[in-house]
Amino acid sequence: MELGTLHIEPTVESVVNQNLKKMNSWQYREMGSRSKKTGKLSYYNVTVTDWKIVDCQCKAREFNRYSPCKHMKRLKEKMNHLAI
């Protein structure tokens, strides 16, 4: 009786998960505008992945996903080594 070798090909999900583990991701907290009703400042988390600004949690990014919002542009002005 001969045992055959088992060959398992990686699925797309496993390849994507392996690539995501290699990426370094962190967040900056960027100040938004003051609320007219309450007078409080709003803060938004801007996500950076592998030295590239990729996302922000503000309302402008929900409506227009493909252009950087003012918080992302402001972070780029402060941190010149990051890309948008």
pLDDT tens, the chain, 84 aa long: 555 555 555 555 555 556 555 679 999 999 999 999 999 999 999 999 999 999 999 988 889 888 999 999 999 999 889 888
Q: Which of 78, 17, 14 is nearest to 48 (CA)?
A: 78
Give per-residue pLDDT as tens, 44-55. 999 999 999 999
Residue 56: the pLDDT is: 93
pLDDT at position 21, please?
59
Q: Are 36 and 24 in contact (CB under 8 A)?
A: no
Domain map (residue ranges) of the chain: 24-78
pLDDT attached to residue 3: 56
